[in-house]
Structure 1
Amino acid sequence: MATKREQEILALIKQDPLITQAQLAEKTGTTRSNIGSHISNLIKEGLIVGRGYVFPAENEVTVIGAVNLDVLGAAKAQVSTKGSTPGRVYSFIGGMGRNIATNLADLGVKTKLITVYGNDNNGDLFQAEAQNNELDLSDALRVERPTATYVYLNDVDGRRIAGVDDMQINELLTPQVMEKRLPKINAAKVVVVDSNLPAETLNYIYENVTVPIFAKAVGINKAQNLFSDKTKIDTLVINSVEAKLLTQIEITGEKQAQMVADKLQAWGCERVCIYADGLGIYYQTPTVAKFIAYHKANLVNTNGVGAAIIAASVYAKLQAKDFGETLKLMQRADVLTAQVNEAVTPKLSEIIEE
């Protein structure tokens, strides 16, 4: 938090963005070296960005997470493990970080995406799509490795049967990468992470990021990356399968959802949103909780639901929505996203138009 002196310096900079450190020293009655120290603190806190006294964009969100090519096999009949099943095969750009960032952009939120992707055709597709959605990739990494890929199979009812991911590239999102970008990360209003990040990178973020951290659990083998004695999460979004793996509690209704949320809050999550296909959504804060039971009509693909829910929760945070409004936005995002094959619905903005 800025000191009284640093708040004074900020006020002077806002009055004259071209003011020099010597002039700041003269106006505040201190030395130039002290001004330099205060400026460094203001950059670290994200109140100004780098040299030149650039102020962070209002309501900008930084998403740190994965991008990959999604390959979906959508069965048109009951899947047989002994032979071929008729259906359709789709491929499109996905990845939890990318999906969250794209959803936020559709909700009108200025969004920076810190990710890693390959110098290949899939990387070209991602980059072009990100530009079309006005995502800021200035701090993303592009490397001489293949862009990550996720292959999964859905049953005839749209529910996932199995998936295989080739996402080792995310190991390049190291604490050192985050350290170089820390002033810009702290300049955001909210930071969103997903559990594709290495555990040591998440720990660095918990220890050094000063703005609210939202987190999305991803997959039964990576969800545990989010948890350590350093965990500091404002809002966690997790599905019932991931929650069961972490807590050993199967969610069959509101009672079990509350038990899971209690445990996750004890592990460092202030707010917890649990979504369960066929049951509904449960949202718990330190003071209030509610379970909404519902079944999704016209269910096509649930793969992108979690990304839509967390984008809705971030939007609600930025707009200072109350508990009830936040829960309704998350529910609408769930239902709308499950109606398309792609991981991101092109109509997510409809959730704020109702």
Structure 2
Amino acid sequence: MTNRENQILEEIRKNPLISQKELAEKLGITRSGAAVHISNLIKKGYITGKGYIVRENPYVCVVGGANIDIYGFPFKKLIKNDSNPGAIKLALGGVGRNISENLVKLGIDTNLITVLGDDIYADNITEHSREVGIKIENSLIMKNSNSSTYLSILDENGNMDVAIAAMDIFENMNVEFIKTKDKIIKNSNLCVIDTNIPKETIEYIVKEFSGDTEFLLDTVSTSKAMKIKDIIGYFQIIKPNKIEAEILTGIKIKTDSDLKKAGDIFINKGVKTVIITLGEDGVYYQNEEKSGIFKTKKVKMVNASGAGDAFAAGLAYSHINSLDIYESVKFSAMASIVAISSEETINPKLSVEEIHKIERELER
């Protein structure tokens, strides 16, 4: 589907009775041009019958953050309380946005609902989203506001040493706004939520649309994970790291037995799939049938900043494609390996084929 066809389809979803003239005026094209695009959409099967009945493809809805990332890379060992020679890089980021782009690269239709300012950063995020195929039209635009910005200092190994997140703009994603997007969330095959958005909004989404769709939680950070402690059972899939799992369960995780205890707490609260990332020690996984730790060979890391987002996208892809828990974790871990092998937060080479290629190489 072309970008223009995608735009027309979005307008038709909003108003199935919209005329070709109204479409043309909204998109700044001729009426005959709109007619050609609609004809192509009918031929491709995206529109069926009169009144523009739209056939919905399986898609993931992501509700979360989008921002500009500013990274500092030291050339040598990072020295605290000093000026370090190095390089500075700007990139598009945000947990929700990163997961969305990874999903699109894995071939999954993705709707991103986020909050943007009206600055040049917002323009960059919107333009790039349309270029790569993320549907971002349902996001909230705040006038006279700066878009979210994330500043991170990495150490000589590519790991984050310290970061500052200026993300107050996401407080504007309130319940009243989300109510206007109910069809997008309700009709999704999976809704991915990151904890950058307000607690009240997260609670409304998971309670209001429980039974209509399923939810995957990205806890984002230890401080933000506390937002969902009392509603964790509404999420079918969760992926905290070890520290976040400790905070959410009250279990100090030192052994494999402790991991099982923490997993049991999540399962007993209603979570269907528990994934606890352990860094170099692998990934713990658990559902009602099985549990275990998945480990893979160590690989060279260029930049760790996009690993978690690629892993989350891998979990969403696996859910849409009905992979079992072990295959899901393996696929997601391979997606993370693809991510950390690139200087970019989103590896341009990420694809299902590239993931399977990495898997074959590591199994030799």
TM-score range, shorter chain: 0.7 to 0.9
Deviation larger for 246-255 or 207-216? 246-255
Instruction: Tell me the equivalent position of 2:248.
Output: 246
Instruction: Indicate yes or no: 2:175 matched with 1:175.
Output: yes
Offset from partner CA, 1:108-144 (integer Å, 9 cap, x none): 0111100011111111110111011111112111112
Which of 317, 329, 334 is residue 336 of structure 2 equivalent to?
Answer: 334
More helix by share: 2
Q: Distance in 2 between matches of 1:222 and 1:296?
A: 30
CA drift of 1:250 comes to: 4.9
1:126-141 mapped onto 2 (5 Å cutoff): 126-141=125-140
For the 8 Å contact 1:207–1:230, the answer to whether it is kept is no
Q: Distance in 1 between matches of 2:305 and 2:75?
A: 17
CA drift of 1:327 comes to: 1.8
Deviation larger for 62-71 or 289-298? 289-298
Instruction: Tell me the equivalent position of 1:166.
Output: 166
Q: Distance in 2 between matches of 1:134 and 1:159?
A: 29
Determine helix, strand or coil for the equivalent of 1:191.
strand
Q: Distance in 2 between matches of 1:245 and 1:227?
A: 9
Equivalent position amino acid for 2:173 in 1: L
Equivalent position amino acid for 2:239 in 1: V
- Residues 345, 83 of structure 1: CA spacing in aligned structure 2 closer, same or farther, 3 A cutoff? same
Instruction: Tell me the equivalent position of 1:269.
Output: 271
Structure 1 residues without counterparts, runs of 5 or longer: 1-16, 19-51
Q: Distance in 1 between matches of 2:243 and 2:148?
A: 23
For the 8 Å contact 1:117–1:169, the answer to whether it is kept is yes
Q: Distance in 2 between matches of 1:224 and 1:271?
A: 19
Q: Distance in 1 between matches of 2:250 and 2:232?
A: 22
For the 8 Å contact 1:236–1:273, the answer to whether it is kept is yes
Q: Distance in 2 between matches of 1:305 and 1:243?
A: 18
- Residues 295, 174 of structure 1: CA spacing in aligned structure 2 closer, same or farther, 3 A cutoff? farther
Q: CA RMSD in A?
A: 2.2
Instruction: Indicate yes or no: 2:350 matched with 1:351.
Output: no
Deviation larger for 77-86 or 142-151? 77-86
CA drift of 1:256 comes to: 3.2
Q: Distance in 1 between matches of 2:340 and 2:257?
A: 25
% identical aligned pairs: 28
CA drift of 1:84 comes to: 1.5
CA drift of 1:89 comes to: 1.5
Instruction: Tell me the equivalent position of 2:187.
Output: 187
- Residues 267, 344 of structure 1: CA spacing in aligned structure 2 closer, same or farther, 3 A cutoff? farther
Structure 2 residues without counterparts, runs of 5 or longer: 1-15, 18-50, 360-364
Instruction: Indicate yes or no: 2:81 matched with 1:101.
Output: no
Determine helix, strand or coil for the equivalent of 1:348.
coil
Instruction: Tell me the equivalent position of 2:23.
Output: none
Instruction: Tell me the equivalent position of 1:153.
Output: 153
Equivalent position amino acid for 1:65 in 2: G
Instruction: State TM-score, norm by structure 2.
Output: 0.78
Offset from partner CA, 1:236-259 (integer Å, 9 cap, x none): 112223223334545455333323
CA drift of 1:146 comes to: 0.5
Equivalent position amino acid for 2:267 in 1: Q
Give the aligned length.
306
Instruction: State TM-score, norm by structure 1.
Output: 0.80
Determine helix, strand or coil for the equivalent of 2:293.
strand
For the 8 Å contact 2:78–2:84, the answer to whether it is kept is yes
CA drift of 1:352 comes to: 4.6
Instruction: Indicate yes or no: 2:224 matched with 1:222.
Output: yes
Q: Distance in 2 between matches of 1:208 and 1:56?
A: 24
Q: Distance in 1 between matches of 2:188 and 2:323?
A: 19
For the 8 Å contact 2:72–2:154, the answer to whether it is kept is yes
